[in-house]
């Protein structure tokens, strides 16, 4: 490879015989100019045409608009290409946020199509505007190479390996990719072009022999960088430089000084979107249409840490409000989790919001998880408290991302659960049974297949598998309260009550015990009950009874909701109560980003439930001790 044109020919062997390149040779022949046959010469002629058409009309904006329209028709998704999964994702997000089920109508699809297309057009325009501007002082071959590679790059994805080293990639763009085009970062782009120009120059000097290019730009070792550069992959090089921006290096993230900026509800989304331009974020807010929609729902807060010049411009965290409540908190780590350095800043900000307390746990959980990660790297021992937290024995570890923090699995995979369980449960290995035959009066914990004997043995800790298959037990007090007292208590704790749950509480069949009573409960899945293919309500209730469990008194629904902030969706096994819709109902409990909920589920005797659904039953008094 001796020239940039030969480089382009190598990357696309058919380029020199493509229609636009051949057309230029035809035009040269008609004008009486020399016609070239060598691929590199033909490509060089075409590059000159591209430069003239794209950069030669600075005083005629209509030319640039026509160029943009051409590229949009060529690369932007069409309404028919938007996959069904895009609508289902929006539906699932809305439900998880407590907004109910979104009906996917034709009108809804058209609106989403418009948003997706607009976001892609906007992101594509940014590249065209920059590459055709005087600011982009790159040779035309480099602009062509960057642009034609960029349009094949899809969604930006971050990840971390077991050692905590961050990596990222852009997925391949397909016809039905709904993600916008990659963020334009002139600094990262300039570093890619400079590295490739240097590589081509070195190869020219060596008359085509490959030579290692010294690493002068990234934190990779010279050998690693030479390997990366040898691949001549624009997506990989651009991604590497993007994630190594000074602001997002480990040293840069340790700088947490900065300021919060409020973008008020119904305000112009332009300043918010522009403040995120060019940064390697996974936030959908970077799209104008999404930002506008989010600002219609409530205020938006972004924390910017300072850069090397002391300017607070580096996006680090965001808090989105919806109808006066915190809808989500997002960071810049993989899966939009909070980076470990910024958590204290967010925790302090949370104190300003009425519902910020629920986010304090998330901040604390992320801090603790980071501490355990550091302990593991140093080879330090874990305490009982550490293990109880890591294995989520008492409560789930909560973060700010859409998915579970990947560090939980990474840390568990480095440990031996069989060695950790005795410390967690405060017992010997012999006091942990794994089948019914091993159960004795000294058994403290059980991990294995369930049966009636297990619930009749007063075992303190019960698991089907450890730690994922834990059967959560609760000891709460019921009785001695009128239904009005339950309603008042739920309201005081800002617990959301569904329409049917309100009706169930008001039903004559909802009665409370006249005096207080302690009650032992257990939460388990339909699968845990041995019904691996799912079952009807009657079959579930029958199996629970066979295993020494009872239906709960109706007031367990509100009482358990008041007693726990557990996020899992669980249904309370009670005798069904019909409400105004005519269907038999039972209580269900869950938590969305907008808080705790007491709601109901239809529970017809013949209605089927998936094996993964969770139910709460009462442990019989004689068995509970």
Domain of residue 603, CATH code: 3.10.100
Within-domain flag for 538: yes
* Alpha-carbon span 291 to 274, nearest angstrom: 11
Could you tell me if 481 and 533 lie in one domain? Answer: yes
Q: Return the higher-pLDDT residue of 492 and 245.
A: 492
Within-domain flag for 46: no
Give per-residue pLDDT as tens, 219-255. 555 677 777 777 788 999 898 888 777 656 666 788 8
pLDDT at 625 over 60: no
Could you tell me if 233 and 263 lie in one domain? Answer: no
DSSP code per residue over 414-463: TS-HHHHHHHHHTS-GGGEESSGGG--TT--EEES---HHHHTTT-SEEE
| CB-facing half-sphere around the CA of 254: CA atoms within 13 A | 3
Cβ atoms within 10 A of the Cβ of 226, count?
Answer: 17
Within-domain flag for 48: no
Could you tell me if 261 and 120 lie in one domain? Answer: no
Within-domain flag for 53: no
Residue that terminates a domain, selected from 430, 463, 496 = 463
Could you tell me if 326 and 407 lie in one domain? Answer: no
Within-domain flag for 52: no
User: Which has the closest alpha carbon to 246: 289, 195, 280, 274?
Assistant: 280
Name the pTM for this structure.
0.51
| pLDDT for the residue numbered 624 | 42
Residue that terminates a domain, selected from 437, 463, 489 = 463
Could you tell me if 97 and 110 lie in one domain? Answer: yes
Task: Measure Cα distances from 11 to 141, 144, 241, 601 in Å.
Answer: 12, 12, 21, 58
Could you tell me if 80 and 221 lie in one domain? Answer: yes
Could you tell me if 426 and 495 lie in one domain? Answer: no
Residue 285 belongs to what domain range?
A: 248-353
pLDDT at 319 over 80: yes
Across 343-358, average pLDDT: 85
* Alpha-carbon span 239 to 218, nearest angstrom: 11
Please tell me the chain's helix, strand, coil percentages from 3-state DSSP, rounded to the nearest 5: 45, 15, 40
Within-domain flag for 40: no
| pLDDT for the residue numbered 97 | 45
Could you tell me if 239 and 332 lie in one domain? Answer: no
Within-domain flag for 60: no
List Cβ<8 Å contacts ≥24 apart for 7-13: 7/141, 7/145, 7/196, 7/200, 7/232, 8/43, 8/141, 8/144, 8/145, 9/39, 9/40, 9/43, 10/232, 11/145, 11/232, 12/148
Give per-residue pLDDT as tens, 157-182. 877 665 656 678 899 999 999 999 99
Could you tell me if 495 and 567 lie in one domain? Answer: yes
| pLDDT for the residue numbered 214 | 46
pLDDT at 363 over 80: no
Could you tell me if 343 and 391 lie in one domain? Answer: no
Instruction: Report residue 306 as tokens.
Output: 């300072």
Residue that terminates a domain, selected from 421, 439, 463 = 463
Within-domain flag for 344: yes
Could you tell me if 508 and 382 lie in one domain? Answer: no
DSSP one-letter code for 342: T
What average pLDDT does the structure give for the chain? 86
Count up the domains in the chain and report the number.
4
Helices (H), 136-185: 140-150
Could you tell me if 111 and 165 lie in one domain? Answer: yes
| pLDDT for the residue numbered 359 | 67
User: Which has the closest alpha carbon to 574: 516, 501, 625, 517?
Assistant: 501
> 276 phi and psi, to 5 degrees?
-100, -5
């Amino acid at each position: 490879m001796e020239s940039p044109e030969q480089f382009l020919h190598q990357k696309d062997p058919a380029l020199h015989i493509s229609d636009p390149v051949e057309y230029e040779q035809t035009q040269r022949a008609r004008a009486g100019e020399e016609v070239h046959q060598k691929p590199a010469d033909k490509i060089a002629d075409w590059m000159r045409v591209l430069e003239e058409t794209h950069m030669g009309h600075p005083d005629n904006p209509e030319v640039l608009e026509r160029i943009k329209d051409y590229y949009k028709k060529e690369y932007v998704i069409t309404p028919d290409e938007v996959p069904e999964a895009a609508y289902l994702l929006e539906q699932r997000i809305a439900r998880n946020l407590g907004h109910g089920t979104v009906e996917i109508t034709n009108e809804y699809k058209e609106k989403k199509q418009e948003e997706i297309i607009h976001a892609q057009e906007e992101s594509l325009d940014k590249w065209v505007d920059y590459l055709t501007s005087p600011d982009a002082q790159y040779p035309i071959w480099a602009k062509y190479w960057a642009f034609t590679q960029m349009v094949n790059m899809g969604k930006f994805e971050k990840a971390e390996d077991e050692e905590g080293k961050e990596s990222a990639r852009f997925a391949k763009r397909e016809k039905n990719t709904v993600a916008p085009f990659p963020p334009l970062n002139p600094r990262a782009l300039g570093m890619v072009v400079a590295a490739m120009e240097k590589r081509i120059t070195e190869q020219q000097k060596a008359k085509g022999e490959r030579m290692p290019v010294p690493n002068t730009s990234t934190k990779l070792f010279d050998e690693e960088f030479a390997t990366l550069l040898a691949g001549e992959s624009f997506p990989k090089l651009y991604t590497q430089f993007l994630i190594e921006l000074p602001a997002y290096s480990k040293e840069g993230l340790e700088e947490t000084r900065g300021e919060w900026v409020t973008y008020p509800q119904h305000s112009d989304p332009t300043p918010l979107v522009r403040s995120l331009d060019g940064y390697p974020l996974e936030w959908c807010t970077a799209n104008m249409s999404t930002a506008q929609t989010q600002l219609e729902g409530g205020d938006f807060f972004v924390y910017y840490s300072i850069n090397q010049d002391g300017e607070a411009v580096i996006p680090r965290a965001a808090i989105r409000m919806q109808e006066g409540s915190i809808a989500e908190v997002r960071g810049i780590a993989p899966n939009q989790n909070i980076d470990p350095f910024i958590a204290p800043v967010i925790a302090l900000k949370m104190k300003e919001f009425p519902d910020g307390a629920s986010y304090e746990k998330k901040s604390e959980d992320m801090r603790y998880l980071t501490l355990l990660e550091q302990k593991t790297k140093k080879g330090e021992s874990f305490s009982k408290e550490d293990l109880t937290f890591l294995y989520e024995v008492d409560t789930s570890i909560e973060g700010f991302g859409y998915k579970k923090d990947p560090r939980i699995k990474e840390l568990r995979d480095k440990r031996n659960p069989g060695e950790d369980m005795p410390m967690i449960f405060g017992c010997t290995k012999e006091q942990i049974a794994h089948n019914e035959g091993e159960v004795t009066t000294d058994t403290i914990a059980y991990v294995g297949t369930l049966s009636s004997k297990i619930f009749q043995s007063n075992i303190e800790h019960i698991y089907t598998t450890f730690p994922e298959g834990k059967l959560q037990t609760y000891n709460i007090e019921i009785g001695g309260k009128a239904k009005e007292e339950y309603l008042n208590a739920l309201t005081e704790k800002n617990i959301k009550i569904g329409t049917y749950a309100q009706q169930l509480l008001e039903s004559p069949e909802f009665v409370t015990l006249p005096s207080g009573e302690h009650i032992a409960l257990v939460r388990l899945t339909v699968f845990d009950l041995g019904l691996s293919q799912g079952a009807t309500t009657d079959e579930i209730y029958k199996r629970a009874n066979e295993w020494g469990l009872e239906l709960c008194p109706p007031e367990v629904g509100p009482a358990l909701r008041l007693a726990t902030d557990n996020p899992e969706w669980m249904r309370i096994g009670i005798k069904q109560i019909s409400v105004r819709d005519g269907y038999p109902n039972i209580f269900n409990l869950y938590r969305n980003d907008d808080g705790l909920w007491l709601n109901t589920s239809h529970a017809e005797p013949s209605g089927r439930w998936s094996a993964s659904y969770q139910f709460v039953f009462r442990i019989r008094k004689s068995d509970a001790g």
